[in-house]
Amino acid sequence: MTRTHVLRKDRRGLSVGSTGNLIAYQDKDETLDYTIDWSAWLGSDTISSVAYTANGITLTSSSNTTTSVTVWTTGTAGELVMTITTTAGRVKQETITFKETAA
């Protein structure tokens, strides 16, 4: 599977950990956006819906297009689990692990 991670509009973004998990570094006072482009995985399929479960962080806003998901978060040291359902009925879960960093 190929996955493209679109970096947010500052000096930090999402990185892929050694086990393939997504890692985000965020200061406790920041509210930041993260976008994941799923077009390579989707092929001709499209995103129908996305559900979220936040643990230790706050999901302040979310949106999706037919090929990408954008989340806005505050807080640190937690996880955000996204469950993506496609129009063809495929279901994919992705977890972003948040770690605290100095501003």
Distances in Å between the alpha carbon of 16 and those of 4, 6, 19, 85, 95?
A: 10, 12, 8, 22, 11
Total structural domains in the chain?
1
Residue range 19-56, pLDDT digits in tens? 556 778 778 888 888 888 888 889 999 999 999 999 99
Whole-number Å distance between alpha carbons of 32 and 37? 17
Domain span holding position 67: 4-100
- What's the mean per-residue pLDDT of the chain? 80
Backbone torsions φ then ψ of 70, nearest 5 degrees: -125, 130
CATH number at 89 reads 2.60.40
* pLDDT at 20 (0 to 100): 58
Of all residues in the chain, the percent with pLDDT exceeding 70 is 78
